[in-house]
Amino acid sequence: MSGESASAIQKGQVDLLDFIDWSGVECLNQSSTHSLPNALKQGYREDDGLHLDSDADEQLLLYIPFTQVIKLHSILVKGPEEEGPKTVKLFSNKEHMGFSNVNDYPPSDMAVLTPDNLKGKPVLVKYVKFQNVRSLTIFIEDNQTGSEITQVQKIMLYGST
């Protein structure tokens, strides 16, 4: 993934929130009190008091299916400077991944998030690898300081249908 500025999301790219199949969304290792909807759902993700926390360790594994095939252009992952995500791996159309097998597959793309990314600067993905996406798996491998808990304030996916 390119850390280049996507501050002006390209024309034709939209927030893909409306195309998420919420019945199939999963998040492994999430805190029961600070769960994925806090970072992903409209309204919740805009509230700075709400966030997603990891539970047993710093890793999070998110599975996001879509109601139709999408093209992913960029991803925004917002978090605090200390506990914010660092290494993020994206997998296109890989179902039933768990912590035991996530490293068995090469990611479609990966990024090391910078402080600018954590403040809301989107990260461009390798667009050619995300042309016919039915589901997206996001593996947050670690955080900025190596602390036990990773915190995500907001996740936004940009692209087109």
Residue 129's domain is classified under what CATH number?
Answer: 2.60.120.470
- Alpha-carbon gap, residue 54 to 66, rounded angstroms: 23
Residue 24 lies in a domain: yes
* Domain count along the chain: 1
Residue 67 lies in a domain: yes
Structure tokens at 149: 């808990």
Element at 40 (helix H, strand E):
helix 37-40
Residue 6 lies in a domain: no
Residue 41 lies in a domain: yes
Residue 5 lies in a domain: no
Full domain range(s) for residue 58? 14-160
What is the Cα 148 distance to its own chain's centre? 19
Position 11 scores a pLDDT of 77
User: How many residues are given for the chain?
Assistant: 161
pTM: 0.93
Position 9 scores a pLDDT of 62
Residue 82 lies in a domain: yes
Residue 9 lies in a domain: no
The low-confidence residues of the chain, meaning pLDDT below 50, are 1-8
DSSP letters, 102-146, are GGGS--SEEEE--HHHHTT--EE--GGGGSSEEEEEEEE--BSS-
